[in-house]
Amino acid sequence: MVSRKLCLAQDPEADKLLSDDDFALLTGMLLDQQFPMEHAFRGPQKLADRMGGFDIRRIADTDPAEFEELASTPPAIHRYGRSMGRRVQELAHFIVENYDGKTSGLWTLGDPDGKEILKRLKALPGFGDQKARIFLALLGKQGGLTAGGWREAAGAYGEDGSRRSVADVTDAETLTQVREFKKQAKAAAKKA
């Protein structure tokens, strides 16, 4: 576990969980789609509150129907609470089966370089190329990751000083800057 102090959920308790628990951070990244970023990163805290703590093995071992209910109970962890609950459980199973429940193994096991970490992240259920690159950039920019070549593997998300993704959010101001970047990128894509 890397020591970090994140401000992604814009909520002190939720951000502390993200800072302290690698699987909580990975879960927040999984939930960050079709949902406001800071709400997605509050999802792990909602689960922790309902489960009496956040534990990857308990998440993996919980009855699927019961876990879907926990994920979709208002306020749900995501706009699509049940389906995202299933994805969180799939992710927990994957980490337990492939990394013995140690999420950090994704970026530490065998001293991988940035390309290998990206490959491992892309193999996760619910993680495509873009989500994997953003998470790699988040690890490098805010998680203390020192693996060689991580910036190159993260692509534009790894650029120093950029404001294009959750990897660049360190406070309310940078969250606003990232939102503005995304808004401009969306407008430019519509014109193209």
Q: pLDDT exceeding 70 applies to what percent of the chain?
A: 98
In this structure, what token pair is assigned to residue 17?
A: 């969980």
176: CB partners within 8 A, 6+ apart = none
- The model carries a pTM of 0.95
- Look at residue 190 in the predicted model and tell me its pLDDT: 87
The tens digit of pLDDT for each residue in 131-177 reads: 999 999 999 999 999 999 999 999 999 999 999 999 999 999 999 99
N- to C-terminal Cα separation, the chain: 43
**Structural domains of the chain in order of their starting residue, each with its CATH number:** 12-155 (1.10.340.30)
Helices (H), 21-55: 22-31, 37-40, 43-51
Q: Which amino acid is at 88?
A: V
Query: Quick one: pLDDT band at residue 8, thresholds 50, 70, 90?
Result: very high
Instruction: Summarize the confidence of residues 19-38 as an average pLDDT.
Output: 96
Q: pLDDT exceeding 90 applies to what percent of the chain?
A: 93
The tens digit of pLDDT for each residue in 55-66 reads: 999 999 999 999
Query: Quick one: pLDDT band at residue 3, thresholds 50, 70, 90?
Result: low
- Look at residue 1 in the predicted model and tell me its pLDDT: 44
Q: Which amino acid is at 128?
A: G
Instruction: Summarize the confidence of residues 110-139 as an average pLDDT.
Output: 98
Instruction: Summarize the confidence of residues 175-191 as an average pLDDT.
Output: 91
Q: Which long-range contacts (CB under 8 A, 24 or more apart) does 104-108 make?
A: 104/1, 104/2, 104/22, 106/26, 107/139, 107/145, 107/147
- Look at residue 169 in the predicted model and tell me its pLDDT: 97
Average pLDDT taken over every residue of the chain: 95
Around Cβ 97, how many Cβ atoms within 10 Å?
Answer: 10
* Helical pair 129-142 and 22-31, crossing angle rounded to 10 deg: 140
Please say if the pLDDT value at position 4 is more than 90: no
Instruction: Summarize the confidence of residues 33-40 as an average pLDDT.
Output: 94
In this structure, what token pair is assigned to residue 139?
A: 């690890």
CB 32 within 8 A of CB 167: no
